[in-house]
Amino acid sequence: MLLIPAIDLKDGRCVRLRQGDLQDATIFSEDPVTVAEQWYDQGARRLHLVDLNGAVAGKPKNEDVIRAIVRAVGDDIPVQIGGGIRDLDTIERYLDFGIEYVIIGTAAVKDPGFLQDACSAFPGNIIVGLDARDGKVATDGWSKLTKHDVLDLGRKFEDYGVESIIYTDIGRDGMLTGVNIEATVRLAQHVRIPVIASGGVTDLTDIEALCEVEQEGVEGVILGRSIYEGTLDFQAAQEMADELNGDEQE
């Protein structure tokens, strides 16, 4: 089970939001590079970056600090980035300076042709982010709920060639209310590519529950508020996940 610390970037700082609300941001650090190095030192095997300003603007807005993070840890562990990615030039620029995976969310739903082009141009580097409430996909920073069913879109995007799917239950994100195991597994069983859980992780109980369904296709989980507020010890969680899944990894 891959435990992936999230570093959400707003105005060059590391923050966390509640349910995607930019007005409800908690600043955790003025120095995201140090945060990235901290998670790497604690055993992180991948980092998840989100350009929150970029998601609103539709183009990268925290690129300087993203580059600095990649310079600091990108040679050692993969870094994935989402937020404001709307064209192939942006993807190419990110990949050129060392980002491993680019996450396409809103643009994938609104312009599936763009996602298809991205998968063709950069095979193996594209992850799609599906954010949903009650099985329906949301877009535009979760402000708009569509009629698209998350299972149908998951299978469609799989056919395009995406590397994996990040599934976020937006009703739980940043709320420390427990991960939505049932919905995550339902999606993982519906597609053949890996699914990464996101939203609501609180403590070791959630990690244990996710490890139990790893064989269903749940490859990893993105960790945010829990590891910043201390309800989950990242290092202990990764060690426990490795122990629980040791037999499968050997």
DSSP code for 76: T
Stretch (H or E) spanning 110:
helix 106-110
C-alpha to C-alpha distances, 22 to 11, 26, 27, 159, 180, nearest whole angstrom: 11, 10, 11, 33, 23
Token reading at 115: 């996602």
Please provide the distance, in angstroms rounded to a whole number, between the alpha carbons at the two ends of the chain.
Answer: 13
What one-character-per-residue DSSP string does 161-218 give? T-SEEEEEETTTTTS-S---HHHHHHHHHH-SS-EEEES---SHHHHHHHHHTGGGTE
Active site residue 8: yes
Helix 112-121 vs helix 88-96: crossing angle, to nearest 10: 40
Among residues 8, 51, 173, 206, the one annotated as catalytic is 8
Among residues 131, 169, 173, 206, the one annotated as catalytic is 131
Question: What are the catalytic residues?
Answer: 8, 131
